[in-house]
Structure 1
């Protein structure tokens, strides 16, 4: 599930800008570029949300997530040519996602907390068993 749409990008940044970003080298447009940037942005957000224990993809998307998904997708569309403003908005989005992942920010939708993942049965133990010594500290 994507957290924003092409229309969300147009509503926030203008149709002209999005058309420029999806143009290709031969003067045509490649709508696939925008779709891929949206999918990538949503995947990046899911990584932070899953780290915070949210069930992903979110079934109810808070508007703040849509906004940051647009900022992240836009940044990805600019590739290496992102302006200072585009980069700053991306960085603010990632800062917010890190705060969510750390539990400093809790997401809500319609005034209710979003559901957290119920994957307690998937959490296991990690163990380490020593084996033979590969390096003896004496150099190579």
Structure 2
């Protein structure tokens, strides 16, 4: 999974997660781990759907952006129909990002087969000759001064 229970607590707080996960009676007054883990697993599976064609899964390390996306997707799943415009906008933005990853426009990790780019050499610069300017040879043919 791309996010953990603690990631969700750090982002949204225990009271909010209790409200969203403790929905069956009798109420426990605590985060219901089974509900939270299911939503995190669902969000992770959705992310995997975008990554599977580009990366070997599971990823060795989870990039911070995927942790954020997973938490936001899980939150919206927990909220269901009660998700607001801000949460839905976040999901849309995340889906656009994941589509970019799937198309290869966005890299979330450095590909293993790309060599290190350090030490490619120095940049060479040759200034060349000045083409235009106010040197004497150009002033000699200035029609506004009456000379050609």
TM (norm. structure 2) is: 0.69
Deviations 1:77-105 (A, max 9, x none): 11221111111111111111111001110
1:92 paired residue number: 93
Structure 2 counterparts to residues 118-137 of structure 1, below 5 A:
none
Task: Give the number of the structure whose alpha-carbon radius of gyration is greater.
Answer: 2
Aligned Cα RMSD in Å?
A: 1.6
Select the structure with the greater relative contact order (CA < 8 A; seq sep ≥ 6): 1
5+ residue gaps, structure 2, are 114-148
Unaligned segments of structure 1, at least 5 residues: 117-140
Conserved? CA contact 1:22–1:34, under 8 Å: yes
- Structural mapping, 1:47-126, within 5 Å: 47-51=49-53, 53-108=54-109, 113-115=110-112
The Cα shift of 1:25 comes to: 3.3
User: What's the CA shift string for 1:15-47, capped at 9, x where partnerless?
Assistant: 111111111132235321100000001100001
**Residue among 12, 36, 39 paired with 1:37:** 39
Secondary structure of the equivalent of 2:60? coil
TM-score, scaled to structure 1: 0.72
